[in-house]
Chain A
Amino acid sequence: MPEANVRHRPAVAMALSLLFAGLGQLYNRRYIKGLLFIVIEASFLITFYNFLNIGLWGLVTLGEIPMLDHSIFLLIQGLVSVIIIAFAAALHIANIIDARNDARRRQRGEPFPSLIESCRHAWDRGFPYIFVTPGLVMLLFIVVLPLLFMVSLAFTDYNLYHSPPRHLLNWVGFENFKNLVSIPIWKSTFFSVLAWTIVWTVVATTMQIALGLFLALLVNDPRIKFKRFIRTVLILPWAVPAFVTILVFAAMFNDKFGAINREVLSLFGLSIPWMTDPFWTKVALILIQTWLGFPFVFALFTGVLQSISRDWYEAADIDGATRWQKFRSITLPHVLYATAPLLIMQYAGNFNNFNIIYLFNDGGPAVRGQNAGGTDILISWVYDLTFTTNNYNMAAAISLIIGLIVSGFAIYQFRRTRSFKEEGNI
């Protein structure tokens, strides 16, 4: 049994461990553990040295010789290296902490558990974490890596004229963001597109939710007959693939040849320029999105409405509540609390609703003196930038802004909804 040893210094153990994993453990005279750590770190360095070396070098320089170095590959390898190093660093820190704890024990003269005992202890205590780890690693490479890649592109000059392998990329810092708000063709367009994106998100989503709620309440009324049939009909718009619907609508809304002007509005002597006037195109888009989006909300609300206990309404009836009061104080809060996260997703989804904008009129009609079409939202504009003008860097910069806006709203809203507040207190 080891005795108290005041001359045994934890700082030395930490410093040694920092230098190379396992050295501190050797100093603590825990030889098997120390050797194990040394073997792990050594094999890590031998296996990964070359990969990390090139990865980090590539991440900093993005390559030096055109045609031989490929900036995109180097960038990805660099990001992977950073992730691997983050893992290694976490393990290394764990090793330092372990050395310190052991050193303190030795200082105080406490006994050590045997290696097998401590392994069993770690297994028992860390069981959930050990099983979460593979998933976490996958998550990092599948979710985080592409995001990091996109974010990195926003700070490079990746466009047609700087495309690997013939040309290398360069880091340009915040220049893309500066250009976005200073160069005329970006500036004027960016703000008008952003404004319409917000109007579109708020109006179209709110309308689809309002319509869904209204219909759900109507159909849920006990006096309504043929409920099943009505529900089926109302869910139909959801059943047809959206892109088919949108293309059909695009044909129907054609100013001259479309059914809406020709067969419907002509009865009233009207002819509305749905496709050629930006204002009317926006109206048409909002109408279509409302039509496309309400069935989901309707189905959602119908489900939730079933779960509201009859007793509450009976109690309200006894108290003499009006129809409106019952709706305000029982139905609405109930429905909204239960569905808030999904409704927020509807807003986020519409913010990035590329399909409808692109398929209906390709962001058109054109507006004089603007770099995007009259109904382009940020995401369809980004698509245009990437695929017609190959401005990958600007596209990445705008995507980053979109991502920040959407996640900002989402985080704020989620934190205020009950479903997320109650996490862990079930």
Chain B
Amino acid sequence: MRKALSLFLMAVLLIGVLAACGPKRDVQQPKGNDQKTAEQAKKPEKLVVWVNDDEKQKQALKDIFQKYTEKTGIKIEMVAVSMLDQTKKLALDGPAGKGPDVFYQPHDRIGDIVLQGLADPVDLGDVKGEYSETAVNAVTYDGKTYGVPMVVETYGVFYNKNLVPEAPKTMDDLMNIAKEKTNAAKDQYGFLMEAANFYFVYPFFAGYGGYVFKNENGKYDTSDIGLANDGAVKGAELVQSWFKNGYIPKEITGDIMNGLFTKGNVAVVITGPWNIASYKEALGDKLATAPLPVLDNGEHPKSFVGVKTWMLSAYSQNKEWAVDFMKFVTNEENSLHYYEVAGEMPANEKALTNGKITNDPLIAGFAEQIQYGEPMPNVPEMSQVWEPMGNALQFIAKGDNPKAVLSEAVKTIQDKIAASGAGK
């Protein structure tokens, strides 16, 4: 009896605590931001900006931020956070009120960021035309522009003028170089690239009509994957022929390629401008760059273009001024300054076509390639593509049937997209 009584009372108490009815608040969605112009909004004392943790980039930005403070009187608090860690940090700092007004991300993360509700769209307004079309497309997601593009980046051809006097214009040129100059036993190669890395191989798929996700009017249809269509298979066969002919060893990695090229053993490599510094140091004047060679159907290979972007935090209290700030940082003058100090190609069209860049022999090749490139898809489903495609390329390198391998990879991608919870 006593036990029953105490048990009953215990239960009453527990229910009393558990039935606590949660927070009281008026159930109202937080309002979307009304787009005011900077002039109408109250001027904040300072803006917090997360920049990538890189010395040269920080150096360049410090000057630009200084100029903005002189112009408007708004202090800019620069916080260095590695680009790769920013979204994770923002997801925690933003709600806690410690986040930035502006952060910096590669455009292919936009899908994730929007899904997590970390960024607000930015109205580029009358300056939209100042940025290169590829860059604007890259930051467009669901029909809205998220962020202001700062830097564009793609890959192209580097060649050693000692071994080949001129850049290969077509794939045939390139194959001839490979045939003549390759002597695998002596570690000499005519042409090398990371041919089992989907990022670098994609242009050869796309040049024949392959695509990752069908893009219609700026929207990606993730149910339509074009990585096993005829074009993609044709591209894969081309890549496989390099392995079969022994032009490229299937064990190739980026490190090995860089090592051989800087030793002067390789005539042509395909890689990105981030290697310019180390290549130049090793090869000096013999180094030159060019866009990717034209395919046998007359098309330029469509390299992936990455765009690094200033994005507007959804938690920012000073959205109008933050946008004003982003536009200032990416204007022609500041983009050029950034290029000169940090060495990255601007997304600002006027800056990109400025003589300072087009006359720089090592950058010109990439600047030209960008117009043939296409932005990496920015939908979150893209993250499921890399691994299956990387694996498929390994199988292709080993000599498996491209059509079968690619169909399997596409199936895996679809399964992975489904298993990751998309559409639920």
- A contacts, CB < 8 Å to B: 11, 14-15, 18-19, 52-54, 56-58, 61, 64-68, 70, 73, 85, 96, 157, 159-167, 179, 183-186, 251, 254-257, 275-276, 364-366, 368-369, 371, 384, 388-391
Nearest opposing residue in chain B for A93, CB measure: B10
Contact code string B254-267 (vs A, CB < 8 Å = 1, else 0): 01100000000000
Our pick among A61, A64, A185, A364 for the contact of B416 (Cβ within 8 Å) is A185
Task: Flag if A161 contacts B22 (CB, 8 Å).
Answer: no
CB distance from A361 to the nearest CB of B (A): 11
| Chain A residues with CB under 8 A of B42 | none
Note all chain A residues with C-beta closer than 8 A to B387: 384, 388
| B2, CB-defined interface residue at 8 Å | yes
Chain B residues near A179 (CB-CB < 8 A): 419
Q: Is the CB of B22 within 8 A of A166?
A: no
CB <8 Å contact, A53 and B117: no
When A11-B5, A166-B115 are in contact, do A185 and B419 touch as well, CB less than 8 Å? yes
Q: Is the Cβ of B421 less than 8 Å from the Cβ of A57? A: no
Q: In the bound complex, how far is the Cα of B423 from the Cα of A70, in angstroms?
A: 21
Could you tell me if A67 and B398 are in contact, using CB atoms closer than 8 angstroms? no
Q: Are B17 and A164 in contact (CB under 8 A)?
A: no
> Which residue of chain A lies nearest to B390 when distances are taken between CB atoms in the complex?
A366
Pairwise interchain contact B20-A52, C-beta atoms closer than 8 A = yes
Cβ of B127 < 8 Å from any Cβ of A? no
User: Could you say which of B9, B408, B415 contacts A184, with CB atoms under 8 Å apart?
Assistant: B415
A256 touches B5 (CB 8 A): no
CB distance from A141 to the nearest CB of B (A): 18
User: B167 CB to closest chain A CB, in angstroms?
Assistant: 27
Most chain B CB within a 10 A radius of its CB, from A52, A54, A165, A364? A165
Q: How far is the CB of A278 from chain B (nearest CB, A)?
A: 12
Given contacts A11-B2, A14-B2, A389-B420, 20 further A-B contacts (CB under 8 A): A19-B9, A53-B22, A56-B18, A67-B29, A70-B95, A161-B115, A161-B380, A165-B95, A166-B116, A183-B419, A185-B416, A186-B419, A256-B251, A257-B249, A276-B398, A366-B395, A368-B395, A388-B387, A389-B383, A391-B421
- Asked if A391 and B117 make an inter-chain contact with CB atoms under 8 angstroms apart, the answer reads no
Q: How far is the CA of A65 from the CA of B22 in the complex (A)?
A: 12
Question: Hey, which chain A residues are within 8 Å of B380, CB to CB?
Answer: 160-161
Residues of B contacting A365 in the complex (Cβ-Cβ under 8 angstroms):
394
Is B383 in contact with A18, judged by CB distance below 8 angstroms? Answer: no
Closest to A69 in B: B23
Residues of B at under 8 Å CB distance from A? 2, 5-6, 9-10, 13, 17-18, 20-23, 25, 27, 29-30, 91, 94-95, 112, 114-118, 249-251, 253, 255-256, 314, 380, 383-384, 386-387, 390-391, 394-395, 398, 400, 405, 408, 412, 415-416, 419-424
Cβ-defined contact, A388 with B13, below 8 A: no
CB distance from A344 to the nearest CB of B (A): 35
Minimal beta-carbon separation of B115 from chain A (angstroms)? 6
CB–CB B116/A164 < 8 A: yes
Question: Assuming A159-B421, A161-B420, is B2 touching A18 (CB within 8 A)?
Answer: no
| A256–B251 alpha-carbon span in the complex (Å) | 6
User: Is A14 within 8 A of B391, CB to CB?
Assistant: no
A-B contact pairs, 10 of them (CB 8 A): A15-B9, A65-B29, A68-B25, A160-B420, A257-B249, A276-B251, A366-B390, A368-B391, A368-B400, A390-B420
Q: A11-B2, A18-B9, A366-B394 are in contact. Are A57 and B20 (CB under 8 A)?
A: yes
A56: which of B17, B391, B394 is its contact (CB, 8 Å)? B17
**Do residues B412 and A389 form an inter-chain contact, with CB atoms below 8 A?**
no
Residues of B within 8 A of A64 (CB): 22, 27
CA–CA, A54 and B20, complex, Å? 8
B227 to chain A, nearest CB (A): 16
- Min Cβ gap B97→A in Å is 12
Which residues of chain A are within 8 angstroms of B13 by Cβ–Cβ distance? 18-19
